[in-house]
Structure 1
Amino acid sequence: MARMTTLLRSRLTCALPLALASIAPAAGAAVNPHGRTWANPMDVDYRYNFEQMNQGISYRTGADPAVVRYGDAYYLFQTLADGYWHSTDLVHWNFVTPDKWPFDSEVAPATLVAGAKLFLMRSTTDPEPLLYSTDPAHGHWKFWTRLMPPLPNAVSSSTEYRIKPGQLPPGPWDPGLFQDNDGKVYMYWGSSNVYPMYGQQIDLKLGDETEGEGKRLAWLGAAKSLLRLHPDQHGWERFGRDHTDETTKPFIEGAWMNRHGDRYYLQYAAPGTEYNAYATGVYTSDHPLGPFTYAPYNPVGYKPGGFVQGAGHGSTFEDAYGNVWNTGTNWIGLNWNFERRIDLYPAGFHDDGQMWVDTRFGDFPQRMPDHKLKPGESTFTGWMLLSWHKHATASSQVPGHGPGQVTDENPRSFWLAAANTPGQTLTLDLGGPRTVDAIQVSYADYQSDRYGDAPDLVTQFVLEGSSDGSHWQTLADLSHETRDHANAYVELDAPARIRYVRYVHRHVGARHLAISDLRVFGHEDGPPPPAPVLVSATRDKDPRNATITWKPVPGAVGYNVRWGLRADRLHETYQRFADQPTTLQLRALSKGVRYVVAVEAFDERGVSTLSRTITLDP
């Protein structure tokens, strides 16, 4: 999200899996460039924020992703990246520096493929350029128009304003572009806790490119108010952590439109990017400008629990095989409330038109398909979390930031080495022999004092494994890596049977060596845990809330509380770890909607079957 009300912009980068590893026992094993898995947050070279320089706050961040398929490749744009990313497989991403970039940087950008061109615009409160490219892979861009015509009836951004009837706030901020099957083009926009989301038809004059540059875009008709938030009806639209702030007005933002069949799906983000409950909702219509109807299965993109939290303000697109994907913004919030990352989740539509986004185990490794997924086919690899609350030791530490904090699944706590020097080590004891398939090294920015880009902003390390803690083999060697990895994801070429995992430091561009989590994935031998006993699930006096209680499962690492409109459509998930209570107050329900609830357990061996289901009547 990028809010017009405060003109708050946060520097980010998209993150899809990138660093992959070889498990050859010989030294010098390198990153595997052919891996087909990823883990959220996406592993891209997030940029250092430069907006809080005057406040002395430094951090890597990324948000508001817009992913579009153009030709045989995918392009990822996001807020304040000074460029964008290119991929041919949605797993490996390379940063592209444009040759013509009239922006100081894009903010909450909109993309559109139309007339064999890729269009790009950023959020604006005053007339700005609209760019297009027919060769984005090489960073070649041209002006469709150097200055878009002013938004009709919008008040000036240079003065304090009060909207009068028939007027619009400055914009379009947080825009979304959409071309319908008949060739008509529409724009959607809005980022406010006061004003609604708007839509309007525009004319890109694609059929008359001989028009002068300043005449290639026109607004058609009048802007329409399309939707507002109703937190008094929709629990998930309430502000705050887990929607507990009943007084602050929530924000609506991040417009994105898709057509599926004869239905239009206008997506929006709420209630605020600063918390774990940032989510994507959808309204549907049989016309691109409405009227729109609230979808009872909202929110469609939602991930309030686990290591990655938040899934709002992103994009929905199809890959080369016809699979649907949804990107979003997840919350870090260590150095600044608007410190964020990018995530990618499988999505789709049921035959009756219900939209869904699958965030279950969304921060565990996922496998990128090379085919059209069958209904119900999951991208989850089945590689379980092996590092949760495991014993960790380090070569050095700063008081208050010991190595035990790298196994708590919390990106806001971290191990801090006494010095950012090569040879510092961080070692995990997995508690016994385990089969390890992948490792994620997530760094924290502690007093980083870095802004913008620099040649030394690269991440270099070696991962080692051992069965006895004395004899080590190289799992992955990134000591010559030339890119930065705030959330380095390493997929091993082959599974490693080991008990100990060791991180050996080489270089990180930050002032300090700080790691929030060293996450190890694979499996322990044995059967999965039994299904938990769902004790009760009851709607509270306020029907936007429900209280769900289950019995703990011995040895469980955590639980997924799942709910949806039907027992076979439990698309919503709240992940809880075993050190949290086995009672959850779920505050994301909509009044008047009937839900079905169940719980599953997971440990290092796998995932249980579902508990019994309980119906939550309206």
Structure 2
Amino acid sequence: MKKLKVILLILLYVFVGQLSAQQKTYCNPVNLDYAYCPIPNFTTWGKHRATADPVIVNYKGDFYLFSTNQEGYWWSSDLSEWNFVSRSFLTQEAIDTTPNKWDDLCAPAAWVKGDTLIVFGSTYSRIFPIWMSTDPKGNEWSKAVEHFDIGGWDPAFFTDDDNRFYMYNGSSNVYPLYGIELDRNTFQPQGTRKELLLLDDDKIGWHRFGEHMDNTFLKPFMEGAWMTKHKNKYYLQWGGPGTEFSHYGDGVAIGDSPLGPFEHVSLPLSMKAGGFIRGAGHGATFQDNWSNYWHTSSMVVNVKNNFERRIGIWPAGFDAEDNMYCNTAFGDYPHYVPNGNTDHLKSRFTGWMILNYNKPVQVSSTLGAFYANNIVDEDVKTYWSAKTAEKGEWLITDLGEESTVYAVQINYADQDAEFLGKTFDKYHQYMVYYSNDGKKWNTLIDKSNNKKDVPHDYVELDKPVKARYLKMENLHMPTGKFAISGFRVFGFGAKEKPSPVKQFMALRGDQTDRRNVWLKWQPVDEAYAYNIYIGLEPDKLYNCVMVHDVNEYYYSGMDKTKPYYFAIEAINENGTSTWVTAEAL
């Protein structure tokens, strides 16, 4: 009997281990078949993919993603694999009378009412209806309201526990966010809009406009409202202070009623000011099938146009004191998809590190100044381009030592793209090989028969491999040259984790501007990057910034009336160091 129990326990451990090994992962930016920007005067610097302002809702156990100007939407069962549904939400009346016909569904709102999924795009024009569906996978939609006269730009809708129904909207650097109660069945307004919230950039540094939170020439913007209720508190979320900037994020303000008053939380809810792709603003919070919270928002490219953006997804939630958080640490590294009830304060990060940051690269050809090293510089804003899109153009990345590879993310860039708007029947095809000597190559990834458009293709290997060199060979491009902004290899190196940082200090600005702090530390020789964690309490460091190749960081985002606490960890191919702390009182 004891032997049987032992055997059953062994089998159970093996089964659980297999489940863990098979758990799926995803990597930001989300690998969607993004449409190309449809607006001609936004593409004079080059045609490019673009979307932003995402909202994800959980409808009947599946996730539905709507975002700006995609001529359709996506659904997924797991947040990993997404399926596009082609759909125009413009009526014939709108097509006949609207000059900006590309605003098919701009900064949309989506919500669930009973057994119905409902969608509405930004507009103050009465010719855009509110749409509803009980079969969105089947693309079956009808009009819930023919003419929503009150309208709203960057709208969000919220049903309270007492079934009272509200709309929030606003997008301006002058006017506030607004809220109003609506009739839940007719959508007619109950009274007038109420002013809810303005920015406070004189007090809170991260509200300031500018790439470095410096408010150099414009007042900050506030947009993209969203509402989440938790334990009888109302968490009004908003995006700001400018979609072009690395610290574009979502803030949160808390109130005791759905129409306020609301008080700003001094930290951003979602901030991703460093790493491969930055920005985490204008988004939405949703729950998975185990009631875990997640947050989706826009990520910044901003090369060919200020509105060149992508979409990211991060674990989120509420801590024991009901502080709302979004965990963006390692926010563009592989994370596990939902698979059960979990504590998102512990992240969903796999632990797989970048193996080829600033390592040697070889390429088949180079177009102009789009140099090969841009492939491995961990910056989506830079890219390498081959001279052609022909079959056989290639790149080789040298990991520097034999390493254990778990996953690869291939981020294509738009060089000489030909399209505007949504295109179909376009696809990428390629091969990836691995080698230990750079001479004998084995197949790692075979996408020679792929028929999908995969601009940020993320491939988790069925099992890890040992390799020093990886080679990618182009077979087919959907448009433009063969161009790559990041060929990112994830896994573990063969050495030790980095040593902890020494002499980490936080030098806060004096009374002239206490919103600013200069963080400085002794470099760690074996580190390629550092994570800086930021918080208002020593044990609640919920914001994170990753920096590469420097030993300082200027953070200008503090509330000048409050103390701040910081921690830093060194990062290399083998993992992270222990934290070292500092404070700015």
Shift of residue 257, structure 1, vs aligned partner: 0.2
Shift of residue 69, structure 1, vs aligned partner: 0.4
Note if contact 2:568-2:579 (Cα within 8 Å) is conserved in structure 1: yes
Structure 2 counterpart of 1:263: 233
> Which amino acid is 2:286 matched to?
F
Note if contact 1:109-1:122 (Cα within 8 Å) is conserved in structure 2: yes
Query: Is 1:179 aligned to 2:159, yes or no?
Result: yes
SS of equivalent residue, structure 2 residue 212: helix
> Which amino acid is 2:187 matched to?
L
Shift of residue 101, structure 1, vs aligned partner: 5.2
Q: 1:533 aligns with which of 497, 502, 523?
A: 502
Q: 1:548 aligns with which of 519, 533, 544?
A: 519
SS of equivalent residue, structure 2 residue 576: coil
Note if contact 1:334-1:411 (Cα within 8 Å) is conserved in structure 2: no
SS of equivalent residue, structure 2 residue 137: helix
Note if contact 1:118-1:132 (Cα within 8 Å) is conserved in structure 2: yes
Q: 1:321 aligns with which of 279, 284, 290?
A: 290
Structure 2 counterpart of 1:36: 24
Distance in 2 between the 1:35 and 1:491 partners?
Answer: 10
> Which amino acid is 1:546 matched to?
V
Structure 2 counterpart of 1:116: 115
Query: Is 1:202 aligned to 2:182, yes or no?
Result: yes
Query: Is 1:280 aligned to 2:280, yes or no?
Result: no
Note if contact 1:335-1:445 (Cα within 8 Å) is conserved in structure 2: no
Q: 2:209 aligns with which of 239, 250, 256?
A: 239
What are the equivalent positions in structure 2 for 1:525-604 lying under 5 Å apart?
Answer: 525-541=494-510, 542-578=513-549, 580=550, 582-604=551-573
Structure 1 counterpart of 2:97: none
Distance in 1 between the 2:162 and 2:446 partners?
Answer: 52
Between 393-402 and 220-229, report the one with greater CA deviation. Answer: 393-402
Distance in 1 between the 2:159 and 2:578 partners?
Answer: 43
Q: 2:37 aligns with which of 49, 64, 80?
A: 49
Distance in 1 between the 2:488 and 2:237 partners?
Answer: 32
Structure 2 counterpart of 1:126: 125
Distance in 2 between the 1:319 and 1:132 partners?
Answer: 21
How many residues are treated as equivalent by the alignment?
Answer: 550
Q: Where does structure 2 lack aligned partners over 5 or more consecutive residues? A: 1-21, 95-100
> Which amino acid is 1:414 matched to?
Y
Note if contact 1:562-1:599 (Cα within 8 Å) is conserved in structure 2: yes
| Cα RMSD for the two superposed structures | 1.5
Distance 1:375 1:78, change over 3 A: closer
Shift of residue 54, structure 1, vs aligned partner: 7.8
Note if contact 1:448-1:511 (Cα within 8 Å) is conserved in structure 2: yes
Distance in 2 between the 1:390 and 1:420 partners?
Answer: 24
| % same residue | 38
Give per-residue Cα distances to partners, 1:380-438, cap 9 Å, x unaligned. Answer: 10000011001110111123122111011111221111111011111111111010011
Give per-residue Cα distances to partners, 1:509-531, cap 9 Å, x unaligned. Answer: 12211111111110112331111
> Which amino acid is 1:195 matched to?
Y
Distance 1:54 1:577, change over 3 A: closer
Distance in 2 between the 1:55 and 1:430 partners?
Answer: 36
Shift of residue 115, structure 1, vs aligned partner: 2.6
Note if contact 1:98-1:138 (Cα within 8 Å) is conserved in structure 2: no
Q: 1:292 aligns with which of 240, 253, 262?
A: 262
Give per-residue Cα distances to partners, 1:252-300, cap 9 Å, x unaligned. Answer: 000000001110000001101011110110111110001111123x211
Note if contact 2:293-2:317 (Cα within 8 Å) is conserved in structure 1: yes
Shift of residue 615, structure 1, vs aligned partner: 2.3
Note if contact 1:449-1:511 (Cα within 8 Å) is conserved in structure 2: yes
Query: Is 1:416 aligned to 2:385, yes or no?
Result: yes
Note if contact 2:327-2:344 (Cα within 8 Å) is conserved in structure 1: no
Give per-residue Cα distances to partners, 1:466-525, cap 9 Å, x unaligned. Answer: 111111111111122222122111111100100101111011112211111111110112
Note if contact 1:242-1:304 (Cα within 8 Å) is conserved in structure 2: no
SS of equivalent residue, structure 2 residue 278: coil
TM-score by length of 1: 0.87
Structure 1 counterpart of 2:353: 384
Structure 1 counterpart of 2:50: 61
Distance in 2 between the 1:453 and 1:99 partners?
Answer: 11
Q: 2:371 aligns with which of 377, 392, 402?
A: 402
Q: Where does structure 1 lack aligned partners over 5 or more consecutive residues? A: 1-33, 152-170, 206-215
> Which amino acid is 2:263 matched to?
T
Query: Is 1:221 aligned to 2:191, yes or no?
Result: yes
Query: Is 1:616 aligned to 2:584, yes or no?
Result: yes
Distance in 1 between the 2:337 and 2:187 partners?
Answer: 38
Q: 1:82 aligns with which of 64, 67, 71?
A: 71
